[in-house]
Chain A
Amino acid sequence: MRWLRTILEEVFGLFVDDGSFAIAIIVWLGITWFLSVHILADIRWSGVVLFGGLVAILIESVTRRARQ
């Protein structure tokens, strides 16, 4: 069963490299989903809010890694 575990680990690794980066993306998707139902439903171009958060997460993650 070691080969199966290796494959599962590799598949997991496709999506998650830096844990905090992946968690931040998932949390932001959850927040945007919640907002899309309650607040953003009537707002034009609400997709821009999703994009803005994703870009902020990306910039924060790479600059933090560069400082380490």
Chain B
Amino acid sequence: MIVDWTHAWPTMLAAFLASLVEFVEALTVVLAVGTVRGWRGALIGTGSALGLLLLIVLALGPALTKIPLGEVQLVVGGLLLLFGMRWLRKAILRSAGVIPLHDEETAYAKETESLRRQGGIGRGWDTVAIATSFKITMLEGLEVIFIVIAVGAGGVGLLIPASVGAVAALLLVVVLGVVVHKPLSTVPENTLKFIVGVLLSAFGAFWVGEGMGLSWPGDDWSILGLTLGFLVFALLSIQLCRSRATARASLADR
């Protein structure tokens, strides 16, 4: 299988960073479940979800390669644009102070409080622990699968670097989770989401354009140009939002 290295390194980086954000969010909840309700339920729920996710990948992966590339690029690129631009929009608003930053410590405190309120832990199966860790692993895992498929939509060979990026992120988070044993609040999540939003928007625009038969300056290298373009306009948007928010606040003070 031939890997196109023009796309491979940005594909791997985008999949790694995006998956890192998702796995950090999942780790926060799994740690809360393990700490409050015990590790047995937390690990059963997480393991079951990972097993189901693996089955989904095995079922979807070969089917995806049978769909014509142009149609995959158009549909997956469109979804990737919605997904990436949503992240980018939120990261811009957070950076500008319009909406509050996501805080893993606060999320952890909320989750542990909610789990404590859900009654005592019996000797048998702790359904609350299993269901909570299953649900979060499933949801964040589905996002990771979508990201891998979406950033690897440029060709069958690109699914490999995308998968390598996601697996590397999973291993990093598992190792950090075992070593640190608390929410990874020092991970600059909004900065990561901003970078990933830029990368996914660039990939999405490129795949959609390819699917529509549009032409790009520099052909495949235009992914780099699109990345820089989204980055410049996103940074400009932060400044614009800050000035709008300040103007709104000064009007409210009068």
Contacts and interface: CB of A to CB of B under 8 A. Distances in A.
Nearest to B86: A17
Contacts of A33: 212
A44 B233 contact: no
A55 B229 contact: yes
B interface, how many residues as a size bin?
Answer: 35 or more
Interface residues of A, number: 40
Interface of B is mostly: helix
A38 to B, nearest CB: 12
A15 B226 contact: no
A62 B237 contact: yes
13 contacts: A7-B135, A7-B142, A10-B139, A17-B90, A21-B85, A22-B86, A25-B81, A36-B212, A36-B214, A45-B215, A50-B205, A58-B89, A62-B93
Interface in B145-191: 146
Given A7-B139, A48-B217, A55-B229, A14 B146 contact: yes
B230 interface: yes
Contact of A58 (B82, B85, B245): B85
Interface of B: 78-79, 81-83, 85-86, 88-90, 92-93, 96, 98, 135, 138-139, 142-143, 146, 201, 205-206, 208-209, 212-217, 222, 226, 229-230, 233-234, 236-237, 240-242, 244-245, 248
- The binding surface of chain A is classed by DSSP as helix
B47 to A, nearest CB: 18
Given A41-B213, A55-B233, 11 more contacts: A26-B78, A29-B81, A45-B216, A47-B205, A47-B206, A47-B215, A50-B209, A50-B212, A57-B85, A62-B240, A66-B96
